[in-house]
């Protein structure tokens, strides 16, 4: 085996630990919810075979066909998820006017917001449902369930800074053992009634839905639990890559899950009374139950990782697209750009998960909330995918409609089924999602209107003052997001002071898609006809930008006789004053004002000494 093959095997095992945890632990509660939940159906032969048929074809059509075959082809430099999908769509489709977002942009941020909500729910439900096994083995210890759950959650979030690559190496073997154990338990029980293989046909599932109608629609609210985690799978693509995820699913995860579900079905055909806990009923009676509970607990703790990693990826993507304020992003791998850690989101998720456990205290009270976030994001992802097919991949309308129409035909019933559980707990991801929608929409619209405001106010004074002979002594470094043209803060500088520094540097910092940039390629310098020095500095995604160190090198190359203390870094700071006079909705403007005040400061991000910063401030009403 070559080193490349060894690396693929190791990455595939790590992907099992991070990406498939949520999908992999669904056998613990999915079939149980179908038969004993608030809208469960009677566990007779026809219903059992029909439900297994719906489960099998949901895994095939949704996870395998929709996500692994089609959606995972739509990536942005290896990154997946609904925000990466949104980034492939032309800007004029997403936002035609600065003060409003297009329909597809709203779909994208709504889908991402629901996934943020799912990221709060999944660790709480997964860990709590696993630890509740203590009550199965020893009812007298039930009062320890909540404290133990909280300890596990705190420990899980505390180790996130080690990075998903290291966590995958730790979690991967455990999840491989979990999948093999689930498959083994399934095989042992399938032997009791091989007629369960009839469920591999789609006909029993369709017959069940037609026969039960409204109750069959309710049943889909339980079936959707088998595919919770598919959206996180797509969002986590940047952590491991497309190939390892596909290999893990086809070779291990899908076969193991189906064998386990078929085993549970065969058991229920012989013992319908086991519907209240079909997974643990697969285990032989005696001491075997204790190691199984321990393994299930470990697996469900790991299951939370898929959503946590997904939230980190979504946060970074939303920042890059201008939908989220600047927060600290820590790259944890020199091999894979997508392996990141976001301290702020990690802390927020930890606090939210612990609060949910303390408030609800039982996983059954949160189960109804589990499917709505996933099914809603699935539907919204299909809509964004259609727009991407038409605008980016240039598919003809009939072809895009045919494919996405098939996706929506599957997604929509799941959404309707879970909407019926809205008041049973389904409101939780919606409340969280609405909060994130407000944050992302207000930030995107606010930044667009702010840029327009600065451009309009600075254009004419800037053009009149640029030709002035007046010069300010020293070196002025103006940060610019793009290497061409003139940044807004530079226009403000000229318009207000009617002068330029003796030596003015327009500095643009680029983050490259490599871990470390070679020193020889770090700095690119050009001097334009307007006597401005335009400098592009490149950093790898694992490096922390140090602008003063670069400026020392630039001054030396330009033969500018100045010390580091002679350099002034010119930054812009706009204070938003929210009133009803501007173009922006007053509520969104107030939210944007709060976010702008609390986003990460550029001086911290670029390691700029605060005593050498000149901030040009202004008050604006958007």
Phi/psi class of residue 524: alpha, beta or left (left: φ > 0; alpha: ψ in -120 to 50)?
beta
Rounded Cα gap, residues 34 and 42, in angstroms:
9
Task: For domain 14-425, say whether CATH 1.20.1740.10 is its number.
Answer: yes
Nearest alpha-carbon partner for 438 in 228, 620, 584: 584
pLDDT for residue 529 = 64
pLDDT for residue 46 = 92
pLDDT for residue 195 = 92
pLDDT for residue 49 = 94
The token duo for 403 is 């494919």
pLDDT for residue 254 = 94
Cβ atoms of residues 593 and 619 within 8 Å: no
pLDDT for residue 3 = 66
Helices 488-497 + 427-465 axis angle, to 10: 40
pLDDT for residue 459 = 47
Torsional sign, CA 500, 505, 508, 509:
negative
Residue 375 CB partners (closer than 8 Å, separation 6+): 224, 411, 414, 415, 417, 418
Rounded Cα gap, residues 250 and 247, in angstroms:
5
pLDDT for residue 197 = 94
pLDDT for residue 341 = 81
Q: What's the burial of 77, exposed, middle or buried (CB within 10 Å: 0-12/13-18/19+)?
A: exposed
pLDDT for residue 407 = 95
Rounded Cα gap, residues 75 and 79, in angstroms:
5
pLDDT for residue 335 = 55
The token duo for 504 is 């003015």
pLDDT for residue 514 = 62
User: Could you give the residue range(s) of every CATH 1.20.1740.10 domain in the chain?
Assistant: 14-425
Q: Mean pLDDT for each consecutive 10-residue tract of the chain (622 residues)?
A: 73 81 85 79 91 95 94 82 83 79 89 84 79 70 84 86 66 89 94 92 92 84 86 77 89 94 94 86 81 85 76 79 80 62 87 87 69 85 93 93 95 88 74 87 84 56 53 83 73 74 85 70 77 83 76 85 82 73 78 77 77 78 66
Half-sphere exposure of 284 toward its Cβ, with a 13 Å CA cutoff?
6
pLDDT for residue 362 = 75
* Residue 386 CB neighbour total at 10 angstroms: 21
pLDDT for residue 16 = 84
Rounded Cα gap, residues 480 and 494, in angstroms:
15
């Amino acid at each position: 085996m070559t080193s490349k093959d060894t690396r693929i095997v190791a990455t595939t095992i790590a992907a099992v630990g991070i990406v498939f945890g949520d999908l992999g632990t669904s056998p613990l509660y999915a079939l149980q919810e179908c038969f004993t939940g608030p809208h469960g159906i009677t566990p007779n032969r026809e219903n059992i075979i029909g439900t297994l048929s719906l489960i099998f074809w949901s895994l095939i059509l949704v996870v395998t066909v929709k996500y692994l075959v089609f959606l995972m082809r739509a990536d942005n430099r290896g990154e997946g998820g609904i925000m990466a999908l949104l980034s492939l769509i032309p800007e004029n489709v997403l936002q035609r006017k600065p003060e409003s977002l297009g329909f597809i942009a709203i779909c994208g941020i709504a889908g991402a917001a629901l996934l943020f909500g799912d990221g709060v729910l999944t660790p709480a439900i997964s860990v709590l449902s696993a630890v509740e096994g203590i009550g199965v083995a020893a009812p007298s210890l039930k009062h320890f369930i909540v404290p133990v759950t909280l300890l596990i959650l705190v420990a899980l979030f505390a180790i996130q800074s080690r990075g998903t690559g290291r966590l995958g190496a730790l979690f991967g073997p455990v999840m491989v053992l979990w999948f093999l154990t689930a498959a083994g338990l399934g095989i042992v029980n399938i032997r009791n009634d091989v007629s369960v293989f009839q469920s591999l046909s789609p006909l029993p599932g369709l017959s069940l839905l037609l026969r039960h109608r409204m109750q069959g629609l309710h049943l889909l609210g339980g079936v959707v639990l088998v595919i919770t985690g598919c959206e996180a799978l797509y969002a986590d693509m940047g952590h491991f890559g497309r190939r390892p995820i596909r290999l893990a699913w086809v070779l291990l995860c899908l076969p193991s899950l189906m064998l386990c579900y078929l085993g549970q079905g065969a058991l229920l055909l012989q013992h319908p009374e086991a519907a209240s806990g079909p997974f643990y009923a697969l285990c032989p009676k005696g001491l075997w139950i204790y190691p199984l509970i321990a393994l299930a607990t470990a697996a469900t703790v790991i299951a939370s990782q898929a959503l946590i990693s997904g939230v980190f990826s979504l946060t970074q993507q939303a920042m890059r697209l201008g939908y989220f304020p600047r927060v600290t992003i820590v790259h944890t791998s020199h091999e894979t750009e997508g392996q990141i850690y976001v301290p702020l989101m990690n802390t927020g998720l930890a606090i939210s998960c612990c609060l949910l456990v303390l408030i609800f205290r039982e996983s059954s009270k949160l189960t109804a909330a589990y499917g709505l976030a996933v099914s809603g994001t699935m539907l919204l992802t299909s809509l964004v995918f259609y727009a991407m097919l038409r605008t980016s991949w240039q598919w003809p309308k009939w072809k895009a409609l045919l494919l996405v129409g098939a996706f929506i035909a599957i997604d929509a019933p799941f959404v309707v089924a879970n909407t019926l559980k809205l008041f049973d707990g389904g409101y939780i991801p919606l409340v969280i999602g609405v909060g994130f929608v407000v944050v992302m929409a207000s930030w995107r619209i606010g930044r667009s209107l702010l840029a327009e405001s600065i451009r309009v106010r600075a254009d004419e004074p800037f053009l009149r003052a640029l030709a002035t002979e007046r010069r300010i002594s020293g070196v002025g470094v103006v940060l610019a997001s793009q290497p061409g043209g003139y940044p807004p803060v530079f226009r403000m500088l000229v318009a207000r002071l009617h002068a330029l520094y003796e030596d003015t540097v327009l500095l643009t910092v680029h983050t490259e898609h490599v871990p470390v940039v070679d020193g020889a390629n770090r700095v690119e310098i050009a001097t334009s006809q307007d006597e401005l020095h335009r400098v592009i500095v490149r950093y790898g995604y694992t490096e922390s930008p140090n602008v003063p160190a670069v400026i020392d090198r630039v001054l030396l190359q330009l033969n500018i006789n100045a010390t580091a203390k002679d350099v002034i870094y010119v930054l812009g700071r706009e204070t938003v004053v929210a009133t009803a006079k501007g173009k922006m909705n007053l509520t969104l403007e107030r939210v944007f004002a709060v976010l702008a005040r609390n986003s990460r400061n550029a001086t911290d991000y670029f390691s700029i000494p605060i005593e050498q910063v000149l901030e040009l401030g202004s008050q604006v009403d958007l």
